[in-house]
Amino acid sequence: MASRQSNADAHPKRVLVTGGAGFIGSHLLDLIVTPDAEITVVDNLSTGRIENIAHHLPGVRFIEQALDDALRTLQEERPFDQIYHLAAAVGVDLILEDPIGSIETNVEQTSALLKYASTHGNPPTLIASSSEVYGKPGASVFSEENDILLGPTTTGRWSYAHCKAIDEHLALAYTQTRSLPTVICRFFNTVGPRQSGRYGMVLPRFVQAALKNDPIQVFGDGRQTRCFCDVRDVVAVLPKLLKNQDAHGRVFNIGTDHSIEIRVLAETVINELASESTISLVPYSDAYPEGFEDLRHRRPDLSRVQELTGFTPTITLEQTIADIASSSLHAKTPSKENA
């Protein structure tokens, strides 16, 4: 498919990154920070860490504030050329621990951001979504136009999926009714340095245990499969999508389509780090509240993003494991965790 590029420069003058001190946001900054770019990061550091972006300060403007509060200040300034909306409450543990805060963050902040963008220049705006939106469909490979099947509202685990689905509907509605060029990216198990295991992120949790030679806890029977894509591969495609007009008003799966069983993932971590850890299988009933549901398999169809951008992940899982371990060993003790 031929690409039609927008009028935005390769390095636009003004860029807003929400959640820019977080895991994905900080890696995006590593990619887009240039001498001629004016980048503003908004992050309340509830799950982000200032250490993630310290090497970009003070060149990057940092606003430590809730997004809706920051937008009230930013509306007095000239519009941004691009917006990356990555701020969100993420992680199964966090969603279950603080359902009200997570729901309000994921819906209300996205609504405020879209409203701001549509009244301040209508810049291309990327909205971070999640593979969780697919819920629990019968298909083994998830395609962007598949029907979705979400669990009941009485099971808290599904609130994140419902919220992200609402975010997507909002973004697409702004494109259709207010001509705001939005791009929705459904991330599939993004992993890499700076990711914390605090809120249930599986790979950093495994690496941290392996570095201590502690038992690695695998929930369920360990035969469920996931596709893990390095964050540095993920962020590389985001600017390409945002500045391509053929991507506007569309949804894209972002990740790798190489599946691995969670138990095999734990074994791989142990082998790569020469750890003495053992694997401990933990029933879901012991790990999560009653009624928790998990998917057996989650694998993306990447044909849409590959057709438009040529996206092909290049960083191996083994390299990602090594880099997470190195990052963990050299990290300072943070005051606030990065999700």
Cα 273 to the chain's mean position, in Å? 26
- Is residue 274 within 8 Å of 191, Cβ to Cβ? no
Distance, CA of 268 to chain centre? 23
Tell me if 100 is assigned to some domain. yes
pTM value is: 0.90
Options 116, 160, 174, 288, the catalytic residue = 160
Residue range(s) defining the domain that contains residue 182? 14-191+230-255+299-309
Q: How many CA atoms lie within 13 A of 84 on its CB side?
A: 30
For 130, 247, 323, the CA distances from 92, given in Å and listed in that order, are 12, 29, 24
Residue 7 in domain = no
Question: Is 177 a member of any domain?
Answer: yes
- Determine the pLDDT at residue 305: 98
What does the alpha-carbon distance between residue 245 and residue 240 come to, in Å, rounded to a whole number? 10
Number of folded domains in the chain?
Answer: 1
Question: Residue 294: inside a domain, yes or no?
Answer: no
pLDDT attached to residue 249: 98
The domain spanning residue 73 has which CATH number? 3.40.50.720
Alpha-carbon distance 257 to 145, whole Å? 17
Specify the amino acid at residue 244.
N
β 229-230/279-282 pair status: unpaired
Please indicate whether residue 160 is annotated as part of the active site: yes
What ranges in 48-91 are assigned the alpha helix state H?
67-74
At 173 the pLDDT is 98
Tell me what pLDDT residue 141 has: 93
What does the pLDDT read at residue 7? 43
The answer to whether residue 134 is domain-embedded is yes
**Distance (Å, rounded) from C-alpha 317 to C-alpha 118?**
39
pLDDT of residue 3: 45
DSSP structure string for 116-175: HHHTTT---EEEEEEGGGGBS-S-SSB-TTS--B---TTSGGGHHHHHHHHHHHHHHHHH
- The Cβ-side half-sphere exposure at 200, using a 13 Å CA radius, reads 15
pLDDT per 10-residue tile (average), the chain, 339 residues = 44 87 97 95 94 96 96 95 91 74 90 98 97 84 92 86 95 98 97 83 95 96 95 98 97 97 98 98 76 78 98 98 91 41
Residue keyed to tokens 């519009």: 79
